[in-house]
Amino acid sequence: MSQQKTLPYAGIRIVEFTHMVMGPTCGMVLGDLGAEVIKVEPIEGDKTRELVGSGAGFFPMFNRNKKSIAVDMKSAAGIELVKKLVATADVVSENFKPQTMAKLGLDYETLKKTNPKLIYVSHKGFLPGPYDHRTALDEVVQMMGGLAYMTGPEDRPLRAGSSVNDIMGGVFGAIGVMAALRQREITGEGQEIQSSLFENNVFLVGQHMMQYAMTGKPAKPMPSRISAWAIYDVFELGNGEKVFLAVVTDTQWKIFCDVFGFSDLFDDPSLQLNNQRVVARPTLIPEIKKRISGYTAAQISAIFEEHGLPFAPITKPEELFNDPHLIATGGLAPITLTDGPRAGDQTTTPLLPIMMDGQRLGVRLNPPKSGEQTKEILTQLGYSESEIDGLVSNGSVNC
């Protein structure tokens, strides 16, 4: 979005005590929408910065448009300045273990006594109930919440290939904050918001729960499900390439048969309607695969695109950096990496999948270095330069 325009949450200050994915996602969403998000990190920095393997992308993805202050919250001076910072906040966001914030005097019940307008969002494994004492991870709730069962082949549960519950849990936390900010405009009072991994996962598989409610038959895992459409598959072509093709309406079936010269299939009375073709999938899909095996992925994609039929190349995540649509539409924004062996390197990152007034919401601040804005924030809180130097020298903060 043009920087000349005021973003919707400009002027809202969020202080977040978060790590990993779920909590940081909430702050990222609100930061992208214009809020000032201040990330309170331990004196040594958020340990998420040090993750390797599949966790290496967590910090740069979910911590843009934020400021960082690094504080030793085990020290009296550190906790004092954090409480001063929280007193200036519209929103506090956290995703630590239950009771962690209460031990620090930073829980909602304590803070609302002096700031009744405060909105407080907690990101947890479970909403209050019999499971809330458990330690939850995205994969844990995918297993217990039906998503892994639905993703993998029968008898082989498989987690989804992204941190779907962490990310969506953070998004729902942000939605809760937005709703609470609107309600505060009406009532003048804040409130506590809770978002969770498990309940998010259940929401995501709700369609399969309702499928059972409607039919009385359990939903089969995706690899062996009964598709709602006859042609809705990954097809392997003769040269080993793969492409996803879909023909989901009777109109599309006619177009498909016309352009490929499959008049015999179109004229077959047992294949006239989609539901008939679904029943015929065991023989229809092998027949289609045989007939199109001579095409390349580029050829068949061009035909499907020309005639408005759904298709998709099988793309790896790293290939998306060069996706022509994302590049042309501004869906990737430049950032500078701040951690790891490539610290200082320039790259691009995916933006929120929305447009406002015809513009994408961009990156105003790179993912911060640990404590990058400590001095700036302490100065705003009224600390003198000598006081800040003292806090640095005794290890209470890191600049």
- In tens, the pLDDT along 147-196 reads 999 999 988 999 999 999 999 999 999 999 999 999 999 999 999 999 99
CB 41 within 8 Å of CB 63: no
- Please give the torsion angle defined by the CA atoms of residues 233, 234, 236 and 237, in that order, rounded to the nearest 10 degrees: 80
User: Residue 37's closest CA among 18, 56, 60, 58?
Assistant: 18
**SS3 per-residue string spanning 128-188:** CCCCCCCCCCHHHHHHHCCHHHHHCCCCCCCCCCCCHHHHHHHHHHHHHHHHHHHHHHHHC
Homologous superfamily in CATH for domain 227-313: formyl-coa transferase, domain 3 (3.30.1540.10)
Which ranges in the chain are annotated with CATH 3.30.1540.10? 227-313
What tens digit of pLDDT does each residue of 333-388 get? 999 999 999 999 999 999 999 999 999 999 999 999 999 999 999 999 999 999 99
Which ranges in the chain are annotated with CATH 3.40.50.10540? 13-204+323-398
Architecture of domain 13-204+323-398: 3-Layer(aba) Sandwich (3.40)
Q: Scanning the structure block, which residue is given the tokens 């077959």?
A: 268
CB 152 within 8 Å of CB 8: no
CA angle 189, 73, 50 (to 5 degrees): 105
Which two tokens mark 189?
């009072």
What are the pLDDT tens digits along the chain (399 aa)? 444 468 999 999 999 999 999 999 999 999 999 999 999 999 999 999 999 999 999 999 999 999 999 999 999 999 999 999 999 999 999 999 888 999 999 999 999 999 999 999 999 999 999 999 999 999 999 999 999 999 999 889 999 999 999 999 999 999 999 999 999 999 999 999 999 999 999 999 999 999 999 999 999 998 887 788 889 999 999 899 999 999 999 999 999 999 999 999 999 999 999 999 999 999 999 999 999 999 999 999 999 999 999 999 999 999 999 999 999 999 999 999 999 999 999 999 999 999 999 999 999 999 999 999 999 999 999 999 999 999 999 999 999
For the entire predicted model, the pTM comes to 0.93
Amino acid at 161: G
